[in-house]
Amino acid sequence: MYHTGVPEGLEEGVTTRAALEVDIIEGGQKDPRKLEEELERVKDQQNKVMEELCVALEQKLQLESQFAETDESRKELEQKIVAANEMLRTYRQERELLRIELDNALQKVEEVSRRKGDSSGTKYFSEFSMTEIKEAAQNFDPSLKIGEGGCGSVYRGFLRNTPAAIKVIKLHSMHSSQEFQQEVDVLSKVRHPNLITLMGACPKPCTLVYEYVPNGSLEDWLRSSTRAKQLPWQARIRIATELCSVLAFLHSCKPHSIVHGDVKPANILLDEHFGSKLSDFGICRLLSSGEQSSNNTTVLYTTDLKGTLGYMDPEILVTRELTTKFDVYSFGIILLQLLTRLHALGIANEVRMAISAGTLEDILDPLAGEWPYMLAKELAHLALRCCEMSRRNRPDLQSDVWTLLQSIGASSR
């Protein structure tokens, strides 16, 4: 069909009118009045169609205008997005440059601090001659021997008018010499009320002189039923709190965190008031803040695993990563032993099963006196958190454990 481009209604009106006009011209075969009325009706239809056409044209113009505006807005938005992406790229470049500058600055500060510490760090110890050592230990009289182990023997002595514990190290390997120097380096520069005091050293042969702590080790007291009776639960909570305090102190040392690496009852000494002193730093490690694992924990990667079975972090056997959470695990085992006096191996599982079965009270050490059950249960849960297999799940000693122990200690007085 041929299309004229005229709207259908308008085209129909024009055709009808033309037909009417033809009828009138050809002789007026119809009534003129009716023809006039029909002509008027056609005119009205034509006018209506014209009005609709005008409205349609106006709407078309409006739509074209809106489309033009939308297209312009789209172009402006695209330009803004391009500009924003460029700004973001520039910002990222600047941020990366600032991060590099900050890292370099921090490294320089740490290096300066380390050099300053190495060159002018205060050392709280004296150097003794071998003659002084022999005189103090009465030529190493066996009756003065108060301890012996694979690394050497410890004698009670009196040195420069002060009671002392004299540790003579067996130099059966290079490790012995390194451990001697490590202990001197660490204990000569740090002080804490619950840290054994290094009075001095004699380099040849390798001899360390400590303050004398009269009540022996925590292991001595937990192993003996007679002695354990003299260590009530209040004293045990105090020992745990003091141990937590000194470990948190060592872990927060600057510029290097100190990991003891062999925290166990044998290395916790008790003074005349049953205050605790952490000792034996021969295998401790210094952690540099420059080495970090994926979760921003300071680590030391080591193949030389040392420590005592039962107190050693099991995760290190897999990862070979030494962190401060190594000591947290050891602390948890000791806390469980203070509660139960059970052997370290398997103690965490035994306590965990007792809690699940509702029989924790049955394995609490009765020699400590009558433990407040809810307090003991709270301590057991805390210890088990410290003994989690994954170090990521272990609490922080300073922010978590210390706060809770302080609260428990205050309520138990």
Q: Determine the Cα–Cα distance for residues 167 and 190; give it in Å rounded to an integer.
A: 19
Q: Determine the Cα–Cα distance for residues 340 and 359; give it in Å rounded to an integer.
A: 12
Q: Determine the Cα–Cα distance for residues 174 and 176; give it in Å rounded to an integer.
A: 5
Q: Determine the Cα–Cα distance for residues 61 and 55; give it in Å rounded to an integer.
A: 10
From the list 31, 71, 262, 327, the catalytic residue is 262
Identify whether the C-beta of residue 266 lies closer than 8 Å to the C-beta of residue 147. no
- Concatenating the DSSP letter of every residue in 141-198 gives -GGGEEEEETTEEEEEEEETTEEEEEEEEP-SSHHHHHHHHHHHHHHTT---TTB--E
Identify whether the C-beta of residue 24 lies closer than 8 Å to the C-beta of residue 35. yes
Q: Does the active-site annotation cover 262?
A: yes
Q: Determine the Cα–Cα distance for residues 146 and 133; give it in Å rounded to an integer.
A: 16
In angstroms, how far is CA 2 from the centroid of its own chain?
83
Give the sign of the dihedral formed by CA 45, CA 48, CA 50, CA 56: negative
Burial 60-87 (b: 16+ CB within 10 A, else e): eeeeeeeeeeeeeeeeeeeeeeeeeeee
The token duo for 40 is 């008027």
Q: Determine the Cα–Cα distance for residues 264 and 275; give it in Å rounded to an integer.
A: 16
In angstroms, how far is CA 334 from the centroid of its own chain?
23
Closest C-alpha to 364, from 398, 340, 386: 340
Cα separations in angstroms, 56 against 29, 48, 52, 63, 69: 39, 12, 6, 10, 20
Q: Which residues are catalytic?
A: 262
